[in-house]
Amino acid sequence: MKKVISTHNAPGAIGPYNQAIEINGMLFISGQIPIDPATGKVVEEDITVQTEQVMKNIGAILEAAGYSFSDVVKSTCLLSDMANFAAMNAVYGKYYQHEAPARAAFAVKTLPMNVLIEIETIAVK
């Protein structure tokens, strides 16, 4: 049965979607952008700071659903500029030091709210 996952410790949806959906032991987390849930604002325009906020948001959703970063099997990273890849990768790697998930990373023309990064995540129990 499909279950909607939502937490106040991550930014609320800014459109017709949910933070995450759990079904059959799988958790599908919508793309997270670097919004601080406490302020509702995008964090400073620095790829390191923005990636850290995105990972915190993902962590909050994982926790709300009873999952952890060790349950993540796939990430898709959308970057405003591939020149930011190395800095993003350094932050991302702190969260996946063992058995990192499969991943794709793409540069896209524009991201919501003109942020530098968005990451969507799939976790499995």
pTM: 0.97
Q: What is the pLDDT of residues 63-87, one digit of tens each?
A: 999 999 999 999 999 999 999 999 9
Contacts of 71 (CB under 8 A, 6+ apart): 27, 62, 123, 124, 125
If you average pLDDT over every residue of the chain, what do you get?
Answer: 97
- Extract the tokens encoding 80: 């405003």
Given a cut of 90, is residue 51 above it in pLDDT? yes
Given a cut of 90, is residue 14 above it in pLDDT? no
Cα 72 to Cα 35, 98, 101: the distances in Å are 21, 11, 6
How many angstroms separate the CA atoms of 111 and 11, rounded?
16
**CB atoms closer than 10 angstroms to residue 87:** 18
Run of H or E residues at 97:
none
The one-letter amino acid code at 77 reads C
Does domain 3-124 fall under CATH 3.50.30.30? My reply is: no
The mean per-residue pLDDT over the stretch 104-110 comes to 97
